[in-house]
Chain A
Amino acid sequence: MPLRENPNQRGQNDEGQRYYRTLTRNMVLTIILVSFIPYVIVTAILLYQFHASHREKVIAHLEGLVKKHKQNIDAFLKEKLGNLSSLAKTFSYEELSNEEFLKNRLEMLQQAYGPFFVDLGVINARGIQISYAGPFQLVKASYGDAGWFKSAMKREYYISDVFSGLRGLPHFIIAVRENWLGDPWILRGTIDFVAFNNLVEQIRIGQTGFAFILNRDGELQTKPSYPVRADHEPYAAILKREKRAEDQVSTFEWTDESGVKSIYVTAFLKGGDWVLVFQQKVSDAFSDFERALRVTMVVLALGLLAILTTAFLLSRRMVGRIANADREKHMMNEQVVETGKLASVGELAAGIAHEINNPVAIMVEEAGWIEDLLEDDDFKDGANLKEFRRALAQIRTQGKRCKEITHKLLSFARKTDERVLEFDIGEVIQDIVALSGQRAKYSNVAVKLNLDNALPKVRLSQAELQQVLLNLINNALDAMEKQGGSLEINSREEDGILVIEVADNGPGIPAANLGRIFDPFFTTKPVGKGTGLGLSICYGIVKKLGGEIEVASTVGVGTTFRIKMPLEKIKAKGSENGKGE
């Protein structure tokens, strides 16, 4: 049946499109949500765990490092102090006041411990440097007003902050106070700033990790690798901290004005006077994590991209298949409706046929009775006797016509022999052609057969196939009745489909009628010649057998009916390629 598209259908199509789009979207969203959420959560948990443990490890490492260096520095200062202290205690003020002796001592210290002591000096209670050994000319220099001297005089020993002093170079002093004949004196040593600086400067970790020492007033005691604004936060906060326990190492993070977040590890030195600060940018300190994070993010992004692509492609393909299935179902429904229509038309026709048959029989018999009566002598001389006879004959003729119609209707509704048999298609075609041979001869039609003998045997209702073929052949013969022609019947296999063609070169079917020829009761034959059921029956049977029936026709050229049946469905078992002979 040709499908006529109407605007209503197009509206339904739009609705269908929308439905499938929604379906696609929902599927995509579901797939994405279901795969994304656990994926992201698991990744986040792992990252967090890794971050936490990595951070712990990094901080522990930094704290250990700072602690070790703090101990090193403290030990260094203690050792230098010890050096001076033993010198002051071992030798007398007089001995040490001798410059040669002092120089000698300095050389010995430098040889024993390295070039940490730059110079040594002995200073009396008034702050005058009595003797001096070192590279500068500082004999008789007066330190009476120097802060460190005042502080040193108050204690047994003293370690100064870093300052420039008389020599104009940064250095710091270690001083030991001793008494000589009731007067205090001081043995002073200068620590080489560069050497001391190295102790701290060698604490380098990563790209940005460095260390330096601040004194109580926030002045730099060593030269940091990067500029440090020691008077700014967070250093002030570090110095303000009350707890200055010796072994305490504290860690915190701070974001400076430029938004760079750094990690600070601090430890107090020199009895809380100095603070060793190690600082490193967080991004650098946790660079391993950052790298892992970057890799993870890339993998995550790729994974998400893959999920997205899969979700889209999969959903599109699935919905495409669903749409196809729906379309097929829809078509099947239409076919079922079509077959149902045919069936109900058939039942209706059978009912009508039964009901009409009896009245027609009675009418014909009554007419026959009148005919009988006309035989009687009373009517023999009737003027219109001839006319009566003609009318009654006509009634009988028309009654017979009614009978033919009802019988055809009944056969349309009647169950044909549906027994499925195995048989050879070619033989059935030849049988039917033989049956129609006489009629073809009268109609001056040449019948030509092109049968493929290699066709496999089929399992079908033979009666039904015969009916279809006979109807098609009868139609062709009817069409060519007047002028004769040729009828060609072909059978062959095309891609697993059995094709049977019934082609005539009759007048053809006008395009306007082509769409309706399979409709029940549609006929172009003269009144009384056709019931319009033949092709309808053919259509019903072929569809029922799982095949298709097509028609191609050109006015003036001819008409070809083509029956297509999938061999897969109708092929006889155990018959792969039929018989060859």
Chain B
Amino acid sequence: MTIAKVMLVDDEVPFVETMTKRLTKRGLDVASAFSGNEALDALAKNQAVEVVILDVKMPGMDGIDALRELKRRYPLVEVVMLTGHATVESAIEGMKLGAFDYLMKPCDMDVLMGKVQEAAAKKRQHEGKIIEARLKEIATRRV
């Protein structure tokens, strides 16, 4: 099992390509998408993604909209926001909508790795709890 299954979403193709290589090298299973819509479509096919690294500023559906939609469809998937311009407002907005954390571009690879692992751990913990609850429910189900 890889460290985490992540999806990188950014409209800057070279950025996505390089980051994919670097993250893969660090043992992550990386999928990529170049827009919000593409990311949502890809998520529909690839249910295994645990953490989405999402750029805030994108043409078309921007990061905040994508985050909202993503959280609505897949509430357990964790999102790390990534942006070129850090404004308190968009950070607060992102956090309110359930983003795991917020990072500024260009970010330190080690910091990003740390965040992704934390996010993945959180997701796995949530899933574990849900499975546990279901098992409990099944086990205690009265016939």
Listed in ascending order, the chain A residues whose CB lies under 8 Å from chain B are 353-354, 357-358, 360-362, 364-366, 368-369, 372, 399-400, 403, 406-407, 410, 414
Name the residue in A360, A369, A399, A406 with the highest tally of chain B Cβ atoms < 10 Å from its Cβ: A369
Partner of B15, one of A365, A407, A410, A414: A365
Q: Which residue of B lies closest to A410 (CB)?
A: B85
> Which B residues are CB-close (under 8 A) to A353?
85
Contact A366 B106 (CB under 8 A): no
Q: Which residues of A contact B12 (CB under 8 A)?
A: 358, 361-362
Whether the Cβ atoms of B84 and A354 lie closer than 8 Å is yes
Chain B residues at the A interface, C-beta cutoff of 8 Å: 12, 14-15, 18-19, 21-22, 25-26, 57, 84-87, 104-106, 109
Which 10 residue pairs of A and B lie closest in terms of their CB atoms, listed nearest first? Answer: A357-B84, A361-B106, A364-B106, A361-B105, A365-B18, A362-B15, A362-B14, A410-B85, A369-B18, A372-B25
Cβ contacts under 8 Å, B86 to chain A? 407
Question: Which A residues touch B105, using CB under 8 A?
Answer: 357-358, 361, 403
CA distance A366 to B13 in the complex (A): 12
Q: Which residue from chain B places its CB closest to the CB of A364 in the assembled complex? A: B106
Given A362-B15, A364-B106, A403-B105, 4 more pairs with CB closer than 8 A:
A361-B105, A372-B21, A372-B22, A372-B25
5 intermolecular pairs with C-beta atoms under 8 Å apart: A361-B12, A372-B21, A372-B25, A403-B106, A410-B87
Query: How far apart sit A272 and B125, CA to CA, in the bound complex (Å)?
Result: 152
In the complex, how many angstroms separate the beta carbon of B30 from the nearest chain A beta carbon?
Answer: 13
| Inter-subunit contact A368/B85 (CB<8 Å) | no
Given contacts A361-B105, A362-B12, A362-B14, contact A354 B85 (CB under 8 A): yes
Q: Is the CB of A360 within 8 A of B25?
A: no
Contacts of A403 in B (CB 8 A): 104-106
Contact B85 A366 (CB under 8 A): no
Chain B residues contacting A399 (CB-CB under 8 Å) are: 106
Given contacts A358-B15, A360-B106, A361-B105, contact A369 B84 (CB under 8 A): no
User: Which of B19, B25, B26, B57 is in CB contact (< 8 Å) with A365?
Assistant: B19
B79 to chain A, nearest CB (A): 19
CA distance A400 to B104 in the complex (A): 11
Residue of A nearest to B18 (CB): A365
CB distance from B110 to the nearest CB of A (A): 10
Q: Which residues of A contact B106 (CB under 8 A)?
A: 360-361, 364-365, 399-400, 403
Please report the C-alpha to C-alpha distance between residue A358 and residue B105 in the assembled complex, in whole angstroms: 8
Q: Which residues of B contact A358 (CB under 8 A)?
A: 12, 15, 84, 105
Q: B85 touching A365 by the CB < 8 A rule?
A: no
Q: Give the complex CA separation of A400 and B14 in angstroms.
A: 19
CA distance A375 to B74 in the complex (A): 37
Shortest CB-to-CB span from A349 to chain B, Å, is 12
A406–B83 Cα distance when bound, in Å, is 13
CA distance A399 to B22 in the complex (A): 17
- Chain A nearest CB from B128 CB (Å) reads 32
Provide the bound-state CA to CA distance between A358 and B21, in Å.
Answer: 18
Residues of B within 8 A of A369 (CB): 18, 21-22
Bound state CA distance, A165 and B86, in angstroms?
141
Residues in chain A near residue B15, CB distance under 8 A: 358, 361-362, 365
Query: Contact: A361 with B22, CB < 8 Å?
Result: no
Give the shortest distance, in Å, between B35 (CB) and chain A (any CB). Answer: 15
A353 to B84, CA, bound (A): 9
- Which A residues are in CB contact (< 8 Å) with B109? 368
Q: Once bound together, how far apart are the Cα atoms of A127 and B114, in whole Å?
A: 171
State how many angstroms separate the Cβ of B84 from the closest Cβ of chain A.
4
* Nearest chain B residue, comparing its CB with the CB of A399: B106
In the bound complex, CA of A365 to CA of B85 (Å):
17
**Chain A hits for B85, CB < 8 A:** 353-354, 357, 406-407, 410
Chain B residues with CB under 8 Å of A407's CB are: 85-86, 104
Taking the nearest CB of chain B, how far is it from the CB of A127, in angstroms?
Answer: 147
A399–chain B nearest beta-carbon distance, Å? 6
Docked pose: A362 CA to B104 CA in angstroms: 13
- With A and B bound together, what is the CA distance between A414 and B18 in angstroms? 30
How far is A364 from B109 in the complex, measured between Cα atoms in Å?
10
Q: Closest approach, in angstroms, between the C-beta of B85 and any C-beta of chain A?
A: 5
Q: Nearest B residue to A360 by beta-carbon distance?
A: B106
CA distance A406 to B84 in the complex (A): 9
What separation, in Å, do the CA atoms of A410 and B90 have in the docked complex?
A: 14
Q: Contact between A354 and B57 (Cβ–Cβ < 8 Å)?
A: yes
A369–B15 Cα gap in the complex (Å)?
A: 11
Known: A358-B105, A372-B25. A366 touches B18 (CB 8 A): yes
Residue with the greatest number of chain B CB neighbours at <10 A, chosen from A354, A368, A399, A406: A368
Q: How far is the CA of A407 from the CA of B105 in the complex (A)?
A: 10
Determine the distance from Cα of A400 to Cα of B59 in the docked complex, in whole angstroms: 25
Which A residues touch B84, using CB under 8 A? 354, 357-358, 361, 406
A414-B87 contact given A360-B106, A361-B106, CB 8 Å threshold? yes
Q: Which of A353, A360, A362, A403 has the most CB of B within 10 A?
A: A362
In the assembled complex, the Cα of A369 lies from the Cα of B26 at a distance in Å of 11
Across the interface, which residues of B come within 8 angstroms of A362, CB to CB? 12, 14-15, 18
Residues of chain B within 8 A (CB-CB) of A372 are 21-22, 25-26
